[in-house]
Homo-oligomer: A and B are copies of this chain.
Amino acid sequence: MTLRVLALTCTLKPSPAKSSSDLIARQLLDLFAERGATGEVVRVVDHDVRPGVEADMGDGDAWPDIRRKIAAADILLVATPTWVGHMSSVAQRVLERLDAELSETDDEGRPAMFGKVAVAAVVGNEDGAHKIIADLFQALDDIGFTVPAQGATYWNGEAMQGGDYLDLDETPKAVVSTNETVVRNAVHLANLLREHQYPAS
């Protein structure tokens, strides 16, 4: 059975605007596909994800559809731009909505996200990736995801010079190599956890 990957890209720009977060998410999905893990990208800002911390905020809330895709996935990739040195408000909203999963438990009392793997990709025209990765890992781990070794990739340019990932002539070799490590380790860990779920308490 193949692994399923869901990439949530958290750009502030609705489709069809070009997005660096979207680009790196698609590059990672291509690498996942090479390893037999298929998936899709959801550009979160295209959907009306309401503020709140319940699984369904009612009345047109687009989160329940995204939530079903997360439930069906083995691996969650969160791809976010860097704004004022932080993850985007769209990425933070994803975390807030995922917070509801803490109280959703399976028949044996395990949080719903146990057994799923989370990885991160951060791009920016300014510094901030390590901090955003920290905030993502802490939140996603707390919600129940497992984080593989070297489970994050990122790009930003030289300080104060601007420049976007999608405007690079080619992806830097070091980023390509990091992308491959993220995917290789995520697939390995997701396969292990699918066959060997965490024990119940």
Per-residue CB contact flags for chain A residues 78-115 toward chain B (1 = under 8 Å, else 0) read 00000111111110110110010000000000010111
Give Cα A172 to B163, complex, Å.
15
- Cβ contacts under 8 Å, A95 to chain B: 83-84, 86
Number of chain copies forming the complex: 4
Q: Which of B83, B148, B189 meets A99, CB within 8 Å?
A: B83
Give Cα A159 to B143, complex, Å.
16
Interface residue total, chain A, C-beta cutoff 8 A? 73
Is A25 close to B, CB under 8 A? no
Q: Which of B86, B138, B143, B172 meets A133, CB within 8 Å?
A: B138
Q: Chain B: which residue is nearest A52 at the CB level?
A: B12
The stretch of A1-9, A66-74, A123-131 in contact with B is A123-131
Q: Which A residues are within 8 Å of any B CB, using their own CB?
A: 12-14, 45, 51-53, 83-90, 92-93, 95-96, 99, 111, 113-115, 126-131, 133-135, 137-139, 141-152, 154-161, 172, 174-175, 177-178, 180-181, 184-185, 188-189, 192-193, 196, 198-199, 201
